Amino acid sequence: MRRRALAAAALGLAAVSGCGSSGGSHGAGGPHADGKAAGRPRLTVLHPYIPAPAAADIAAGYLTIRNTGTAPDRLVDVDSDLTHDVTLHRTTSTTMKEVTSFPIPAGGTLTLGRGGDHLMLMGLAHRPRTGDTATFRLRFARSAPLTVEVPVEPMTYRPPSGP
Ligand SMILES: [Cu+2]
């Protein structure tokens, strides 16, 4: 009982002194919760696909990234075996423009899909056809890179909406 009361007192002290005051004592030096407090993203890639493109050298890439972690992350770069020229495109009502990253909120999802934000693949080595498989190598601001296999789907394909 006495130990528990001391621990609670130490936590209270840490919470108060954590903001600004310098030179405060760390008290009894009990276990710290720093790892938990910092949090980390935890990413899963769902339903990646490339619609079979109408043109020979340009295609779009779509996928969903779910973050079940406790910290946000950002998709910052994508490479593919089809081309090294992959850019992140944000779609507005009338146009699309290149952006340097897409946010992946903690406990949320990043959805790249038809008519919305997407990956732009240009200068393709060959024209992807339905049934082919490509790869995306995804790089993030915080998480380790992920490589996913990406099926080439018919032009009219729609991915499942759930996980
Ligand atoms: Cu685009």
Q: Please give the distance, rounded to the nearest whole angstrom, from the Cα atom of residue 35 to the centre of ligand 1.
A: 39
Per-residue pLDDT of 8-28, as tens digits, reads 444 443 333 333 333 334 444
**Could you tell me which residue, 56 or 146, shows the higher pLDDT?**
146
pTM of this prediction?
A: 0.75
Residues in the chain: 163
Instruction: Report the b/e string of 23-55 with b at 16+ CB within 10 A.
Output: eeeeeeeeeeeeeeeeeebebebebbbbbbbee
Q: Please give the distance, rounded to the nearest whole angstrom, from the Cα atom of residue 51 to the centre of ligand 1.
A: 13
Per-residue pLDDT of 69-128, as tens digits, reads 999 999 999 999 999 999 999 998 889 999 999 999 999 999 999 999 999 999 998 999
CB atoms closer than 10 angstroms to residue 147: 12
Q: Please give the distance, rounded to the nearest whole angstrom, from the Cα atom of residue 63 to the centre of ligand 1.
A: 14
Provide the total of helices (H) and of strands (E) in the chain, helices listed first: 2, 10
Q: Please give the distance, rounded to the nearest whole angstrom, from the Cα atom of residue 162 to the centre of ligand 1.
A: 25
